[in-house]
Structure 1
Amino acid sequence: MTINAIVKLVAFIVVHSCCTKSTTTSSDSGSAQQLSHFNVDSAPDKMSTPDFDQYLGSYIADGERIALILDYDGTLAEITAHPNLTQMTPQMKSTLQNIANSGKAFVAVISGRDVYGVKEKIGIENIVYSGNHGLEVLYPDGTKHNQGIPKEIADNFTKMIDQLTKELAKDGAWVEDKKVSLTFHYRQVDAKLVPELEVRAKQIIESYGYRANQAHAAVEGKPPIKWNKGLAAEYILTDSFDTNWRQRKVIFAGDDTTDEDVMQAIKGSGRSFRVSKDPQVVTHADFRIPSVEAVYQLLKWLEKKVTK
């Protein structure tokens, strides 16, 4: 077998057929789930074009209706030093727009950004946007769903923002105010300062009754309610297709630990992709793809399917 063929075979590894190790983690909803490592012998990011026919060809027929749910940062767009600099490539946007306009695809984006911020970044009108990890849902007709937050918790939000800003927003660190949640960013901070910053940021967030979650070079402060991206995905799908949404062909792609809740939610009925270059990434996803470029290849494959 040629090296090329071997690389293609290991580009996507199905969790159930190749797990080698498991560990336990707790999701935002408080439940512990078993995760599995992928066993990948070669780096799939060295492969030019993933073989989506092999892994999705029998799941999605030509012209079949699909529900496509996506993360934004690290999935549709490369992560940058500052969130304001992040943007999709024109090719990615055009392909996503074509899928949304096909008449055979329901498209939703669930992001950690605030809902209007992610809509502004993507700029496609006829899709559903969900912000703050699912706490806000904005529909194409302008209607909006807000997940309820206890008043006594919400009242602490401004105080929490103020203390984080006054005490920790320095040396390249800054606080992103997302109205119902926040992100304390330290991507540009000297590595020697990071451990102390992380600890203190989490202390401040938790002192105001919010939940502190680790993210990519950041700490997120979320209201302590039983809600996450997975529950948001189920809410959006049920609201759009009733309880029989599992009969739809559902595809999800995301790159972060917060996206694992969506992967769990559609497990067994949909197909999910974890975007990661790490061959030992721990995930609930059905497949691993290595990059934003691979997500683009996935969307191009789906575009052909829904426009036939």
Structure 2
Amino acid sequence: MPSVTTLPAPPALPDLMAAGPIALFVDFDGTLVEIASGPDAIVVPDTLTARLHDLRNRMVGRLALVSGRALDDLEKHIGSCEIARAGSHGASCLMADGSRLGTEPEPLPADAIHALRDFAQSHDLTYEAKQHGGALHYRARPDLGEAALAFARQIAAQHGLVVKTGKAVAELVHPGADKAGAVRAFMAEAPFAGATPIFIGDDVTDEDGFAAAIEFSGFGIAVGDRQSEAARYRLDSVTAVHHWLDL
């Protein structure tokens, strides 16, 4: 698997837009805001939401935020917005006007939630409750990463769930909850349909989004220094993403 450090920087966004309609799908943590010690410790610039609305206007509505966070948690950090968005790794999708795209997914089984909470409490880890999933964060205890992943996989097997892994996190979701599904759902709807999709993300869960963009003759842009199977280009950092998007 190639390191993204060997990938070139993407062409300038105005140049890509000049060649035809573009649709942007952008991850949140590690892409638009810096990764923090915990999910509630992120620092979101006061003007970010307004700048994203400006980007949406420049994209003629073809902008979607695609986050691992639940949509209510995303709103807690950026406020209400009129931007298409997908939360819980693509399980829950809203159009820019707030209308739902697809059906509302089910929450995790109560027994699975209780098991994750108990494990986190007894191992000094952070449990993040989500509308359609639940996550064990071990950034503060990297020595417990393997144990957290093993436990998450055990609970997933018991309840017919899937484990999503990321930067010091193991998350349980229902099968089919991935960022590829979000891209496909949005690309079937106006104003996204017919555009060339570009997916920007920093984590392994964004690989699904990259792959879906390729299905529609688009591409992925990996952020930071990591390995990537599907990205075509790379941006160094959150700051570089903001610069490329002219935020």
- Same fold by TM-score greater than 0.5: yes
> 2-side partners of 1:51 and 1:209: how far apart?
39
Three-state SS of the structure 1 residue aligned to 2:127 is strand
Deviates more, 1:95-104 or 1:106-115: 95-104
Equivalent residue number for residue 118 of structure 1: 74
Change (3 A) 1:155 1:112: closer
CA 1:90–1:61: 2 relative to 1, 3 Å: farther
Other structure's SS at 2:82 match: coil
Is the 1:115–1:132 Cα contact (8 Å) retained in structure 2?
yes
Question: Aligned residue for 2:146?
Answer: 195
Q: Is the 8 A contact 2:83 2:97 kept in 1?
A: no
CA contact (8 A) 2:83 2:95 kept: yes
Deviation at 1:204, TM superposition (A): 2.2
Q: Larger Rg: 1 or 2?
A: 1
TM-score (norm 2): 0.86
1:159, distance to aligned residue in structure 2 (A): 0.9
Root mean square deviation of aligned Cα? 2.8
Deviation at residue 89 of structure 1 after TM alignment: 2.5
Deviations 1:227-250 (A, max 9, x none): 4211211111212247xx2x4243
What is the count of residue pairs matched by the alignment? 246
Maintained 8 Å contact 1:68/1:252: yes
Deviations 1:33-86 (A, max 9, x none): xxx555739xx9xxxxx6844xx5653219x65322101111111111111122
State whether structure 2 residue 185 is matched by structure 1 residue 228: no
Structure 2 equivalent of residue 80 of structure 1: 36
CA distance, structure 1, for counterparts of residue 108 and residue 225 of structure 2: 38
The residue aligned with 2:24 is 68
Whether 1:209 and 2:160 are equivalent positions in the alignment is yes
Mapped partners of 2:39, 2:107: distance in 1: 26
| C-alpha contact (below 8 Å) 2:24/2:62 kept by paired residues | yes
Aligned: 1:180 with 2:132: yes
Aligned to 1:130: 86
- Cα–Cα, structure 1 residues 139 and 205, in superposed 2: closer, same or farther, change >3 Å? same
SS of the aligned residue for 1:252 comes to strand
- The whole-number CA distance in structure 2 between the counterparts of 1:167 and 1:89 is 34
- Among 143, 156, 165, the alignment partner of 2:117 is 165
Deviation of the 1:271 alpha carbon: 3.6
Q: Alignment partner of 1:269: what SS?
A: coil
State the distance in 2 between where 1:228 and 1:253 align.
15
Equivalence for 2:54: 98
Q: Does 1:240 align with 2:190?
A: yes
Q: Any idea what SS the aligned residue of 2:190 has?
A: helix
Q: CA–CA distance in 2 between the matches of 1:203 and 1:287? A: 36
Unaligned runs of 5+ in 1: 1-21, 23-35, 45-49, 304-308
Aligned residue among 239, 263, 282 for 2:210: 263
What displacement does 1:162 show? 0.7
Per the normalisation by structure 1, the TM-score is 0.70
